[in-house]
Amino acid sequence: MSTPPKLAHAPVRKHDTYGVVDRLGSSDATDEAIAELRVNGYTVLDSGLSPDFVESLREGLERAYARQIEEIGNEEMLRAMNDADIARCMLAYETDFLTVATTAPLLEFAKRALGPEFVLLMQNGILNRPDRENYQARWHRDLNYQHWTSSKTLAINALLCIDPFTIQNGATYVLPGTHHVAQFPTDAFASKFETQIEAPAGSYLILDAMLYHRAGINQSKNVRRAVNHVIGLPFMAQQIDLPAAMASKGIAPPKDPAIAKYLGYRWSPASDVAAWRSRRIDK
């Protein structure tokens, strides 16, 4: 009795699918980072900034924070409002931080994540000191107090690591996938799935702004510095009116219209009907 012939089977490739008619793009490294953001809620992106420039930001952040302490009166007042060790609206105090907010890799990422129109909602310098309690060590979303989700990414936060983010100095923890779920998960879930993200100096840790995350505890002997950006769709309001803040410091509007729009010069409310129509003419 003859043995029946074996049927030939085409090899199954690792990522073959069926029933799939739509998938995320994969043309380059930025697309891969976008896929990580959409599914997991976080990714790491190289800023392209030189190491020397990134290192120089340390002193700029400290200078801006010192100036803001002088403006408010003393640091104890900042502590009372849980706002110590945060330097807000950095680009109005130190011009290098406008460069930080407008790097080509970050703007390209924002364009692919959010679409062609987006605005810088806030930029805050962060000083994570080893000898102080850190209010940011509590779980939160960067769109605070929001308990809903969206099928589209509405905002991202891009945390530039001025110093390396390590386990020892309190690198950021994330709860992957929580940008898809409205409620905060259970304590057991958070303990089981929290993930600490190490990242080199000069890179952006980018999160979906609805992803739950928290700062780690700095157990090193050194300050861990970073500057956070929240970038969102234009229907969201800026934390601080960036054009007004820059004007108050004598900083002229950027000549590049795309950068000016990104900073909010295009999206602030018009003063009256004629001004609103004028913007449409100039668009």
Q: Using one digit for the tens of pLDDT, what is the confidence trace for 77-94?
A: 988 888 889 999 999 999
| Mean pLDDT confidence for 188-207 | 97
This prediction has a pTM of: 0.89
For residue 121, the model assigns a pLDDT of 96
Q: Using one digit for the tens of pLDDT, what is the confidence trace for 113-141?
A: 999 999 999 999 999 999 777 778 899 99
Instruction: Print burial letters for 115-143: b (CB count within 10 Å at least 16), e (below 16).
Output: eeebbbbbbbbbbbebeeebebeebebbb
| Mean pLDDT confidence for 238-266 | 92
| Mean pLDDT confidence for 49-64 | 97
- Domains of the chain, CATH where assigned: 29-282 (2.60.120.620)
Cα of first residue to Cα of last residue in the chain, in angstroms, is 83
For residue 93, the model assigns a pLDDT of 95
Angle at 30 between CA 26 and CA 31, to 5 degrees: 25
Torsion angles phi and psi, residue 55, rounded to 5: -65, -35
